[in-house]
Structure 1
Amino acid sequence: MVKAVLGEETQLKSAEDRLVESGVPAQVGLVIGKLNCDLERGFVFDLVPTPPNDAGEPACRLPESGRDDKKGSKRKSQAESSPLVIDVDWVAEHARQVSKMLLGGMNVIGLYAWASEISFKASNLVLCQTVMAVAGAAPFYESDLDERLLIHISYSPRRWTCRNCVLGSTISSSSLRPCDFKMGRVLASLLTFKCTYNFDIRLPIFSEDASSTSTLRDVLYNGFLTHAQELKGAKAVIDGTLVTEDEMSTSDGTHHVELLLPFMKNALADGFCQKEVVGVLVLTGSICSFTYLSPKEPVSQAVEDIKGDIIMSMRNRLDIICDQAEEDIIDSTADGNQEESSDISTEKSILQLALHLSRKPCSLAFPRRVFFPWLAGAFICDYLQPSETVEVLKDHCKELMSREDLMDASTILELETEAISLTTKSFWDVVAPSSLAYGSDCQSKGKDEKYSAGKESSRKSIASLDFYTVTAIAFALLSILVGLVFFILKN
């Protein structure tokens, strides 16, 4: 249970000044930071306001005060004491999108509300519902943590308070528990860990009878889920030293992490011997990962955060290409061109292909991850399709993170030089060279010529070997005969 929360003073004071200058009577947004149950502490890095929805309406507002000028001030006072009106689904969608931009050790850990004291107390129910929606849209990786933070910034009177919102199926007065909240230096003390994970994953494609997950999308999700289980058991070497569970790190600078998978252990092969394999899906590439650690946390926590960041980064890319594939099908169907729709569904949307029926190899390039500075040397990320440039990220970053100064082209890091790619191969492409299975007559002729040349060379080698063998035997017999003659003459 988190009992104390430390917030980055520079960022929180800046957020408070921004809210005061805006003059808005109410606002909600996301709390970015990290929760650690072992330390019973939470760390707040920044507050990110939720942007207006697609209709241009704010995510949080007070009830309408009315149009009567004579009673305007009275109705305004009544509105400020009324419960907040919050677009819960929109705030949750904002949390989902922002969580994809955060690296290891950073999460959407809760919600903040800018409102009067009276309005906040009258909105406990809707605020708890919003916190639960945010937790569902941006869950922590491999964590059963059932709590999130709810920070209230009051302007009447001016003060900050923090509560721990306990998640559950029901919401009651006991769902909100007070936390000790302070401001100080948080970001400057974070330790940085970096890892480049190279992988070559080969997933079997089964016949229709052997597996119900036959589409490319199903094979990808199930296959990478299995690989993620292997990755969890990987050992880690940091700066050349094998990591132990209780080891602490106090040195500054960027620490380099290398993950070591268990040798000759492949969970994908378990139980496959009785199934008919008709092809192989090959997923290769490189994932660059960062994580940030508090000095009071053990190094093993950084390793777990790195593993989680790698797995979530791949999941995010799978979601991007799957969402894009579905949009292509919907757009093509809406145009009413059935032929074009069919072409798109078989070419652009190869994720829907039934792999056991496909006889042609297909390939797919994944979005690449780019990094840009965020706060105090820490990075956040976004994803680019192969045909996109970094220019398309500016509006995305401005809308989600409310920062216009992040997307300076000179500060962007494109560290994933080796693109992640996916190809499918038939069974015969794997067990034999593709030219033997699908080669042309010319290629077959070339193979025959090479085979004939190989046979001729083999015959010459055998003849040479026979000559040397006969010579050696003759020399041995001659030596025995000469020795026998000398023995007789001596006697």
Structure 2
Amino acid sequence: MVKTVVGEETLLKPFEDRLFESGSQSQVGLVIGKLSPNSERGFVYALIPTPPTDGGGPACSLRSEGGGGREEKKKGSKGGKSSNESPPSIVIDGDWVSEHARQVSRMMIGGMEVIGIYMWASEASFKATSPATLVQVIRGVAEATPRYESGFDERLLIHISYSPRRWASRICTLASANLQPCDFKMGKLLASLQAFSCAYNFEIRLPIDQAFDSTTFKNVTLKGINHLAKEVQFAKVLIDGNLVTEDLPAMTGGLHKVEFLLPFKGDALAEARSIEEVAGLVVYHGTVFGTAYLGPREPVSQAISDLKGDIITSLRCRLDIIADEAEVASSASDAVADQEGAPAEKPVQEIVLHELRKHFCLSFPRRVLVPWFDDVFICDYLQPSETFEDTKDRCKEMLSMETPPEISAMLEPESETAFLNGKSFWDVVKNGDVSESLNNLTNETSSSRETDTRKSKNSNSSYLVALLVLLAALFIGFAVAYFGSSKAAP
């Protein structure tokens, strides 16, 4: 269990000052940091306030025992009964906070995650709030941001009190719903972070089984990602050209290049099957640029684990983004279909691949790196139709950046020209009927043989003509030489 939490003082102290200056009586937001099952220390790098809801209301407010809000309590205080009333408790829109956490978690890279929530409220209001309410919100955030290491169930709750002014932290164990206090102190973390990056190339082939009805695009894609997760998990690792071993010493320096060494083996998923069982083939290929940050006094093995988790999490995020976009587009098309009386199309994640009778190709969002604090980067994912301006808007909305980063400072390590050779990030091919594909292949083979026969006949004719021309030239040359020599004789 985590016993001590260290916060980045260069960011948290100014954040606390802004909260005091705002005059707000309550606020809820996300904690960005790192909690590890292998360490008793946790790190807090930044706090991100949850934005107002779609209706414009706050994600967190105060409510008195009588059900009235803060303004109602002020009005009731004119009668001089406020001293006898219990302090207002905190009311949180848990669903909205969870959705914010889901969006923000996509922008984090290895070694930095949404690890809990923070509360800005007076000591009295915080104590008046039921612990079950706070645990429920933390659980919602945890479910919206699943970790690569799914077995670790600890999350963090930070309370910033303005009356009196102080910080306190608690560790929430999700299984038992307990809130245990832990030490909180400030320190300098960002300056000592080490970055590890790699470009992971992959290609896997998944047969589409005609006997199952669960071969939707999303299910098959998740199967491929899970296969990659196992592949990455057992890969050998090179860091700066050195093979990682158990006795690898601590590393220094800011940036380290990582390479994964995979064994030469056949694709276990593309096992032999009969034509009657297979309805098609899905091919996933591309390159993922992974990054992870290693905190102070953490072992190098933790950086490798975080980097592997970043690669798999990045692929899952892209699939979720496609599904979200498809849901929005499907809702719009359903509305149009209802008006026109036409059948609505399925969202892309619900497409049953073995029912398709044509080539299906889809581009996944590409990852871009965005400067956040000092030399620390976060990420965003751009659809083919999006630009860096969309990234700036998301940074401003989701991360409450007052000054979004300049476009010139953003990095695009996964540009299509660089690693896709002008093709999509993920190619889904040959999703038609196998017998039809075999017939097409037979026709193409027959056509090819006929073409080869015609070419062979034409080639033989050309050889015959050339031979006749050569013989004629020899005959003419011989005749000229013979008659010329006869005339020259006395």
Pair 357,319 (structure 1): closer, same or farther in 2 beyond 3 Å: same
Determine helix, strand or coil for the equivalent of 2:89. coil
Question: Which aligned pairs between 1:105-124 and structure 2 lie closer than 5 A?
Answer: 105-123=111-129, 124=131
Task: Give yes or no for contact 1:217–1:352 (8 Å, CA) kept in 2.
Answer: yes
> Partner of 1:84: helix, strand, or coil?
strand
Check the 8 A contact 1:230/1:267 in 2, yes or no. no
Deviation at 1:391, TM superposition (A): 0.9
CA change 1:445–1:289 in 2 (3 A) is same
Contact 1:245 1:298 in 2 (8 A): no
8-17 vs 79-88, which moves further: 79-88
Choose 69-78 or 98-107, whichever is displaced more: 69-78
Other structure's SS at 1:179 match: strand
Q: Which of 409, 417, 422 is the aligned partner of 2:427?
A: 422
Does residue 198 (structure 1) correspond to residue 201 (structure 2)? The answer is yes
Q: 1:246-257 residue pairs with structure 2 within 5 A?
A: 246-257=247-258
The DSSP-based 3-state class of the residue aligned with 2:395 is helix
Superposed displacement of residue 327, structure 1 = 2.4
Q: For 1:284-295, what aligned pairs fall within 5 Å after superposition?
A: 284-295=285-296
Q: What's the offset of the Cα at 1:454?
A: 6.6
Output one character per residue of 1:92-119: Cα deviation in whole Å (capped at 9) or x when no partner.
1111111111000111111111111111
| Cα distance change, pair 114–427 in 1 and its aligned pair in 2 (3 A) | closer
Q: How many residues align?
A: 446
Provide the identity percentage: 50
Instruction: Give 1:19's aligned residue.
Output: 19
Amino acid in structure 2 at the alignment position of 1:157? P
Q: After TM superposition, list the pairs within 5 Å mapping 1:30-109 onto structure 2.
A: 30-63=30-63, 64-65=69-70, 66=72, 69=75, 71=77, 81-109=87-115
* Residue of structure 1 equivalent to 2:451: 449
Q: After superposition, give the CA deviation of every residue in 1:38-64 in whole Å (9 maximum; x if it has no partner).
A: 221001100111111111111111121
In the alignment, which of 126, 150, 165 is matched to residue 133 of structure 2? 126
Residues 318-329 of structure 1 aligned to structure 2 (within 5 Å): 318-329=319-330
- Of the three residues 396, 409, 433, the one matched with 1:398 is 396
Structure 1 286/30 Cα, relative in aligned 2: closer, same or farther at 3 Å?
same
- Cα distance between partner residues in 2 of 1:434 and 1:307: 43
Matched with 1:487 is: none
Conserved in 2, the CA contact under 8 Å of 1:53 and 1:90?
A: yes
| d(CA) in 1 for partners of 2:262, 2:236 | 7
Which residues of structure 2 form unaligned runs of 5+? 64-68, 461-490
TM-score using structure 2 length: 0.83
Following the alignment from structure 1 to structure 2, what is the Cα–Cα distance between the partners of residues 340 and 386? 31
Distance 1:121 1:70 in 2: 22
1:225 is aligned to 2:226? yes
Q: Structure 2 vs 1, CA of residues 370 and 24 (structure 1 numbering), >3 Å: closer, same or farther?
A: same
Say which SS state the counterpart of residue 135 (structure 2) adopts.
helix
Once the two structures are TM-superposed, the CA of residue 273 in structure 1 deviates from its matched residue by: 6.4
- Alignment map for 1:368-379 (pairs within 5 Å): 368-379=366-377
User: For 1:432 and 1:331, how far apart are their aligned partners in 2?
Assistant: 35
CA contact (8 A) 1:249 1:295 kept: no
For the 8 Å contact 1:202–1:281, the answer to whether it is kept is yes
- 1:322-376: CA deviation from partner (whole Å, max 9, x where unpaired): 222232222111123587965x727xx4443332232211111111111101112
Q: Matched residues in 2 for 1:75 and 1:222: separation?
A: 63
Q: Can you list the C-alpha shifts for 1:453-472, whole angstroms capped at 9, x where unaligned?
A: 579999xxxxxxxxxxxxxx
- Mind listing any 5+ residue stretches in structure 1 that lack a counterpart? 459-491
Structure 1 residues 8-57: Cα deviation after superposition (integer angstroms, max 9, x where no partner): 00111011011011100011111100112322100110011111111111
Matches within 5 A, 1:137-176: 137-168=144-175, 171=177, 175-176=178-179
Structure 2 distance, partners of 1:190, 1:296, is 10
CA shift for structure 1 position 429: 8.9
Q: Secondary structure at the match of 1:15?
A: helix
Letter in 2 for 1:191: Q
Paired letter, 1:321: I
Please report the RMSD computed on the Cα atoms of aligned residues, expressed in angstroms: 3.0
Report the Cα distance in structure 1 between the residues aligned to 2:456 and 2:298, rounded to whole angstroms.
63
